Structure 1
Amino acid sequence: MRTSLRTAVFSALAAASLISGAAVAQGGVRYTETITLYPDENDGDGKLYAALAAKCEAQGLSPSGFVVTSRVHDGYGLVWWHTGEITCVGN
């Protein structure tokens, strides 16, 4: 019984997330970017945000929502790839 209740709650939350995500997509433009960070670099999330926000501003739009979708490294932790998504809306 607990498993089916958890499944039902998770399904409801997932559906709500998809519905709200669709509303955001209709209200703006979405960009995705992956950046590479080497051992002497840090603040990957900040650099990722700056790269994505620049895409918004180049189109005359404002950044509205930002999320880091993944952080992956080379197996040694020396080189990292950060991927994220931003939603841009009109000014």
Structure 2
Amino acid sequence: MEDILILVVNHETVLKLLQKWNLIGSPNDEPVEKQTLMIRYNGTMYTWQNAVANTIILGSIYQWNETGQNYQLTDVLQPGKSYWMYAYHNCRLFRSAD
């Protein structure tokens, strides 16, 4: 089993993403729009859009719909919820604490 890494560094939340599917959550107390997330890969920081364009991550985030019993796309990470996210490469997901 792989280690899970969640760090808070310089007021940023850092999640380690491994190649393939990752189960992630938001440790923040407020919703987070995926467009505000940053990805670090090979020492370079990418915006969400640039990480998708450079095939570092898949641009979709999936959440489980309990009512419909299916997965649905989301653009916002809600506190206390979990999500599936695909990374084409090992990288890190950053969310600034503003």
Q: TM-score, normalised by structure 1?
A: 0.32
Larger Rg over CA atoms: 1
Q: TM-score, normalised by structure 2?
A: 0.30
Which protein has the bigger strand share? Answer: 2
Higher relative contact order, structure no. (Cα contacts within 8 Å, ≥ 6 residues apart): 2
Which protein has the bigger helix share? Answer: 1
